[in-house]
Structure 1
Amino acid sequence: MKQSRKIVVFMLFVLATWMLTPYYAMAYDDASNAIMHDVVQEGSWIQQDTPSVVDATYGGEQPKSASMPTVIDVTYYGAKPNTQEDSAVPVQRAIAAAAAVDGPVILNFPEGRYDFYAEDAEKRPYYISNTASESENPDVTKTIGLLLKDMKQVTVEGNGSLFMLHGKMTTFVIDQSEDIEIRNVRVDYERPTMSEVKVLEISSNYMDVEVNQDSLYEIRGGQVYWVSEPNKAGARYWEFKDGIAQEYDPDQNITWRTGNPVSSATSVQELKANTLRLNYNQAPNTAVGHVFQIRDGVRSQVGSFIHKSKNVTWKHVTMHYTHGLGIIGQFSENLTFEDMTFAPREETGRTATGFADFIQASGVKGKLKIMNSTFRGAHDDVINVHGTHLEVVRKPAPNQIVVRFMHHQTYGFEAFFPGDAIEFIDNSTLTSVGSGKVVQATRMNDREITLTLEEDVPPTIGTGVVIENATWAPEVEIKGNHFSRIPTRGILLSTRGKSIIEDNVFERMQMSGILIASDAQTWYESGMVQDVTIRNNTFIENGNPVIQIHPENTKYAGPVHRNINIEGNTFQMLDNTVLFAKSTDGIRFSNNKITRTHPNTNPNEQVAFHLLESNHISIEGNEFEGEGVNRTVLLDRTPADEVTISPEQQLHVNDKGVLKSISIAAGNDQTTVKATASSEATQYNGDAKYAIDGNPSTFWHSQWIPYAPLPQSITLELSMKSVVSGLSYLPRQEGYNGNITRL
């Protein structure tokens, strides 16, 4: 009997201890695609220095098998949603626990708000394409909310949670990982690095504006300084005074780049909290209700970064704001974005979502899919798919070349790997002049890489040649998306892989809806397209031209792009061009509907089709509706026998050409004339010399970081006395701004 009583007492002690310990039962429900989390707690929380991994079970009873994911709940590691306490370190602990699991893992965030502060976040250096130069941002360190590095089979399940960032941060970095899924997450900033003011009243010499509730500011010496929220020590994470601006018209739901109305004011008065009077010699030309969006110009962070990873999927993710570029995939394979939303949180009253592009794929291979998503409120292009041209600078050995990153905002990252196929591209014609295979890539410094090839470099390869990595060029499917409130383009596409752009809506892009480019003298974004289908899309009052096939070659030595099929689309047109195509072999424009949304008082002032140095083109079976709809086809150095046009369309063909060479710029000879300007955006290839270089793809641009207010001027100085019989002026070929108004 004594022994039995001891056993009973021991069992009661074990039971009491168990009842005082939190019990976690978790199950993963495939049908509802959600985590069900049930916490039963008796007594008080027992703090553990090293929390154990919690296994997922189905119904809490079945034993774990290899196919069942392990669930790591971030609250078990100290994350406290809805408290505004810093989740950075607890989430790091949870990720470390996930990394220790052999098999699939779900990193679970019970629904709520999770705050991430820059102070204790992960910090790692990453060189990211198209971000910032050495002088703009000498420190490439990224401040990271969630770092998934060297991980496999991990799902981040947000359950609709809001991740709130404090300071300039990169939300996710997925580095050298495989089979990763991010889902059911929303991301925003406590204080976005974008400030917004709404026009309340305007007169000839002042403008009253309402500052958005999230746009913190201080007035010092009669000037506005935009500031962040205080950090943990009470100081500011960041501040700026000048900045780049866009204007938003809510009635038309459009934005465009403009001057900064705050920094250009002669003085500022605070009428009351969040209401300012901006004084001018001459007030800006705007309207009551318009919103100005103001940001600094340095892309020091990105929204999220996918680096050297494979099979990465994003589902049901909302980005309410991103500092710098949005989501960047760089030298990664098989990326899927489905049911994404890029838009401000409605309750904030903000109108801008992004600092720059929303999704950029730079050196991606395999499949790139962007499906059923909404993109609204960027400060640059929505989607940009491209590689990078690096210029050949020397040949240290017969089978070696040293190549260099040329654009100031793209450098430092690994751009070649053993086994990669490369092509040598003439930088003036953008056509291939040779090929090779990489055996070894050695990083020399931030700008230069030595490539060792299987075979000797062709003797003709020298300066004026760039290298394209032909291996890292994805197949692309962009389907079922809606683009709006974009100041530039919807899609930039430069990839050899088969590409389909289908069932999308492009609402009032201020530049082209789709641009197929490739260049080796400005942004150095590579990629000759070889199979593109643009099908069943709707283009609503897009910029000029709506679809632009415009490789930036300065000489023609054969086609750059090939096999582009444009069919079944609807174009709701302004007085602009439907299609501009240059240096392209094989264009089929068929069964599209082109309508005029407003009556055209000057019909055919713009051409419908501008075909420059292209061949094998058919324009057949299209419908043209509306008063004054453009019906002219311009053949510009394109032989008439290379174009097939079905007669029922009643199109007018003009083969005279409109691009006139300026004699002083012929042959790219600038020794007889010098161009100077009152302002130049030299850091963005906007030098005055580009106005007279004979290349229609380059242009002079006045300074816009910081903004140089109008008027601005350009002067052409001849080296000798000359008789000037006239001036032929070619406006900027891409975009809505840049027209000279007075000579």
Structure 2
Amino acid sequence: MNARHTMRITRLMGAALLLTAYGAEALQVIKIKPESGDMTPVVRRVLEGASDSEVKLVFSKGTYRFLPDQAVSKFYHITNHDDGDKKIIFYVDGLDSIEIEGNGASFVFHGQCAPFIFQNCANVTMSNLTIDWDIPFLFQGEILAANASEGWFDARPLTEGYSWSFENGHVSFPNIDGFSFEEFGHTYAFNKETKDVAHGASAMRLRPSKIEERKGGILRFYQKIQKGKEPPVGAVFGSKGHVNRYAPAVYGKASSNLAMDGVVVHHALGMGFLFERSENITVKNGGVYLSEGTDRVISSIADATHFSNCKGHILLENLRIEGMMDDGTNVHGTHVSVEKAIDSKTLRIRLEHKQQQGNVFAEAGDDVWFIHQPSTRRAAVNKVVSVKKIDATFTDLTFKNDLPTATAPGDVLENKSWNPTVTVRGCSIGKHRARNLVFKTPLKTVVENNRFISSDLASILFRGETSSWFESGAVEDVLIQNNHFTLCNHGGAEQAVLYITPRHGKNFNQDEPYDKNIRFINNTIETFDNRIIWADRADGLVIKGNTIRQTKDYEPLHPNAPVFEFTNCRNVELVGNTIEGSYPEMIRADRTSRATMTVKDNTGL
């Protein structure tokens, strides 16, 4: 570190104000102003030199630039991300209280880095700042022509503000500090003007057999294209690379009372906000979206917000969420599979998905549900008394009582103690890949007074899993009311505005009721396609007082699909809804669903 940086840090530390309350430890307040050059060593020295367990960093308004060179380096298993060494700019571990007051500051990061990691903290507050990258980890280009029969499309790549190269018929990006993606990865077409996912533009895994450079800076990509699925001429396609979830912009782990107020993420090398095994979380008055005037079409590489194995209450309020390459939020636990019994009270469990390796499934004192094949229902509960980690995949759990006699390899466990209640209120979510909201918690969930403005897949998804991602579990108390849905599910894949679709392993019952007590009430849905609600294995689904209007914004992608479809459902109520439009089929239901279905007092049904 040079002398100027050392002097600057000394001045900052010397300017700290100590405020003491009766019976409380000192709160160390450190004021920081923007300066040219890399601010990473300043922040690192301030945090490492903090003398109290309660620290407040106050940033003056301005632009702060952060490089990874002098960041804290630590190996991390971050759920739903790629494992590995992370360069951490703000590394905060074990504080009783940490406050970061931005005052409208702009934090601009460079290269592979994790901006904020809060671990083992009792209180975390961030306010009024934006997070962005100087050069995004993206490749974008405008579609000029496409030919499905010959298997190619032409595009003019964007150059200003991006970093990529073309050599020997191969494109590499972002070429930052020696890092480049080897593949384009998931690629989507976006409307150039609205930056919405292009109508009918299904996801494309871009792996061209060859790339040709043509006149005027145009590249021709040779790849098999399904007829009718050509990337639209005039659209902008965006690629996010392969093996691309380096780290979230804000990551809270094993912490409590986390409050993000007025924090905006314009870009992230993974998710925007991720919280893992943490308690009581608020994200409000900010969001994840593109900066004003940018030509980028992708904000965060993955989910805007994500909550894994959390408890307490989660509040998402007054957020703008747009442009991400995955869900607006996903709230879930984790199913682990039973590997074998060690003794009468001890099980060896397996974390199944590669991006769950190293995660903490349970700790001593947690209650755990046993789910025995072939049933998908939560059964016996047992308390964990000790945990022995074998490696990143396997852990031995010892329980207070003997294991249930039905326990067998391939069964799954779910942590009962670590599930949150959830409120999503006053948010605007749309213009992105995947779903607006995904829920997998059995506790009370309320979604109200939001605006959902298009997504390429379902708007609200319920999908507990005992396969694939192994994200738990069944919901039991959900109220979705007074929301406005527009232009939903227009990326090409056949889903629905509200989509209930468990995904279980082959040895589990595929007909048994799973999600329960979902109430979809007094919502307004204005969209061009047919599918509004599609439910599989739901029990106690109430659809009441909603207004559904068919629009002419786009041609239907699935013109023969029904408005409502129910499979293996019980106790469905369709009451007092108004449907405006011309649909070929209103209700499609199998015998099981029809047996307990109530349909009355609807208009236009």
Query: TM-score of the superposition, structure 2-length normalised?
Result: 0.89
The reply on whether 1:218 has 2:218 as its aligned counterpart is no
- Change in CA separation of 1:550 and 1:56 when aligned onto 2, cut-off 3 Å: same
Q: Which residue of 2 aligns with 1:610?
A: 565
| Aligned partner of 1:197 among 121, 141, 160 | 141
Within 5 Å, give how 1:534-545 maps onto structure 2. Answer: 534-543=480-489, 544-545=495-496
Q: Tell me what 1:122 maps to.
A: 72
In the alignment, the residues of structure 2 paired with residue 126 and residue 281 of structure 1 have an alpha-carbon distance, to the nearest angstrom, of 36
Q: Partner of 1:665 in structure 2?
A: none
Q: Does 2:350 match 1:423?
A: no
Q: Match for residue 187 of structure 1?
A: 131
Per-residue deviation, 1:423: 0.6
1:92 match: secondary structure? helix
Q: Which stretches in structure 2 are left out of the alignment for 5+ residues?
A: 1-5, 490-494
Partner of residue 549 from structure 1, selected from 497, 500, 514: 500
Structure 1 residues 372 and 427, CA gap change in structure 2 (3 angstroms): farther
Counterparts of residues 377-416 of structure 1 (less than 5 Å)? 377-416=323-362
Q: Give the aligned residue type for 1:87.
A: M
Per-residue deviation at 1:427? 5.2
For residue 3 of structure 2, what is the aligned residue in structure 1? Answer: none
Across the aligned residues of Structure 1 and Structure 2, the Cα RMSD in angstroms comes to 2.7
Q: Is the counterpart of residue 244 in structure 1 residue 186 in structure 2?
A: yes
Pick the aligned partner of 1:622 from 577, 594, 597.
577
Within-5 A mapping of 1:291-330: 291-298=236-243, 299-330=245-276
Taking the aligned partners of 1:74 and 1:224, their CA distance within structure 2 comes to: 41
Q: 1:82 and 1:246, CA in 2 relative to 1: closer, same or farther beyond 3 A?
A: farther
Return closer, same or farther for 1:48/1:69 CA change in 2, 3 Å cut-off.
closer
Q: Following TM superposition, by how much is the alpha carbon of 1:108 offset from its aligned partner in structure 2, in angstroms? A: 1.2
- Structure 1 unaligned segments of length 5 or more: list them: 1-44, 58-62, 76-80, 652-743
Change (3 A) 1:574 1:287: closer
* C-alpha displacement of 1:360: 0.8
Q: CA deviation at 1:424?
A: 1.0
Summarize the Cα distance change of 1:427–1:482 in structure 2 as closer, same or farther, 3 Å threshold. Answer: farther
**8 A Cα contact 1:425 1:466, kept in partner:** yes
**Deviation of residue 218 (structure 1)?**
1.9
Partner residue, 1:713: none
Q: Which one-letter code corresponds to 1:106 in the other structure? A: K
Question: Is this contact kept in 1: 2:572–2:593, CA < 8 A?
Answer: no
> Helix, strand or coil for the counterpart of 1:348?
coil
- Aligned counterparts of 1:564 and 1:577: Cα–Cα separation in 2: 18
Q: Percent identity?
A: 24
The 1:617/1:55 distance shift into structure 2, 3 A limit, reads same
User: 2:30 matched to which residue of 1?
Assistant: 72
Q: Which structure is richer in relative contact order (CA contacts within 8 A, separation 6 or more)?
A: 2
Conservation of the 8 A alpha-carbon contact between 2:524 and 2:547: yes
Change (3 A) 1:460 1:89: same
Deviation string 1:609-637 (CA, Å, 9 cap, x unpaired) is 212112122111111112x0466222224
Corresponding residue to 2:175 among 228, 241, 265: 228
CA distance in structure 2 between the aligned counterparts of 1:636 and 1:47, rounded to whole angstroms: 71
* Residues 191 and 465 (structure 1), Cα distance of their counterparts in 2 relative to 1, 3 Å cut: same
Tell me the CA shift for residue 278 of structure 1: 2.2
Deviation at 1:201, TM superposition (A): 6.0
Deviation at 1:195, TM superposition (A): 1.6
Match of 1:564 in 2: 518
C-alpha deviation, 1:227, in angstroms? 3.1
Shift of 1:650: 5.3
Q: Which residue of 2 aligns with 1:153?
A: 97
- Preserved contact between residue 338 and residue 408 of structure 2 (Cα < 8 Å): yes
1:175 aligns with 2:175: no
Instruction: Give 1:117's aligned amino acid.
Output: L
Render the CA deviation track for 1:510-545: whole Å, top value 9, x for unaligned.
111000110101110002111100011111121231
Change (3 A) 1:46 1:340: closer
Secondary structure, aligned partner of 1:254: coil
CA distance in 2, matches of 1:630, 1:365: 44
**How far is 1:590 from its partner?**
0.5
Matches within 5 A, 1:566-645: 566-598=520-552, 605-626=560-581, 628-629=582-583, 632-645=586-599
Whole-angstrom distance in 2 between the partners of 1:48 and 1:171:
20
Question: Partners of 2:202 and 2:224 in 1: how far apart?
Answer: 19
**8 A Cα contact 1:400 1:453, kept in partner:** yes
Match of 1:289 in 2: 234
Change (3 A) 1:427 1:382: farther
Letter matched to residue 179 of structure 1: N
Structure 2 vs 1, CA of residues 639 and 510 (structure 1 numbering), >3 Å: closer, same or farther?
Answer: closer
Structure 1 residues 281 and 142, CA gap change in structure 2 (3 angstroms): closer
Q: Which amino acid aligns with 1:642?
A: T
Q: Deviations over 1:97-132 (max 9, x none)?
A: 44x2255x3201111221111111111222122223
Q: Are the equivalent residues in 1 in contact too, given 2:12–2:30 (CA < 8 A)?
A: no
Match of 2:390 in 1: 444
| Counterparts of 1:282 and 1:332, CA distance in 2 | 45
* C-alpha distance in structure 2 between counterparts of 1:279 and 1:636, whole Å: 45
Matched, 1:101 2:43: no
SS in 2 for 1:619: strand
Q: Which has the higher strand share?
A: 2
Q: Give TM-score scaled by structure 1 length.
A: 0.73
Q: Look at both structures and tell me which one has the larger radius of gyration over its CA atoms.
A: 1
Separation (CA, whole Å) in 2 of partners of 1:306 and 1:602: 40
Alignment partner, residue 728 of structure 1: none
One-letter identity of the residue aligned with 1:623: T
Q: Do the aligned partners of 1:201 and 1:209 also contact (CA within 8 Å) in 2?
A: no
Q: Is the 8 A contact 1:155 1:180 kept in 2?
A: yes
- The one-letter code matched in structure 2 to 1:366 is G
**Quick one: distance in 1 between partners of 2:166 and 2:374?**
50
Match of 2:62?
A: 112
Contact 1:519 1:551 in 2 (8 A): yes
Contact 1:531 1:563 in 2 (8 A): yes
Deviation for aligned residue 1:55: 4.8
Q: 1:269 to 1:550 in 2, by over 3 A?
A: same
* Structure 1 residue matching 2:356: 3-state secondary structure: coil
CA distance in structure 2 between the aligned counterparts of 1:291 and 1:265, rounded to whole angstroms: 20
Cα pair 1:95 1:107 within 8 Å, conserved? no
Q: Secondary structure at the match of 1:409?
A: helix
1: CA distance, partners of 2:29 / 2:373: 52
Q: Does 1:342 align with 2:288?
A: yes
Tell me the distance in 2 between the aligned counterparts of 1:261 and 1:418. Answer: 46
Alignment of structure 1 residues 475-554 onto 2, 5 Å: 475-543=421-489, 544-553=495-504
How far apart are the structure 2 equivalents of 1:601 and 1:322?
A: 33
Deviations 1:376-417 (A, max 9, x none): 111111100001100001001101101101112221121101
Per-residue deviation, residues 668-725 of structure 1 (Å, max 9, x unmatched): xxxxxxxxxxxxxxxxxxxxxxxxxxxxxxxxxxxxxxxxxxxxxxxxxxxxxxxxxx
For the 8 Å contact 1:146–1:171, the answer to whether it is kept is: yes
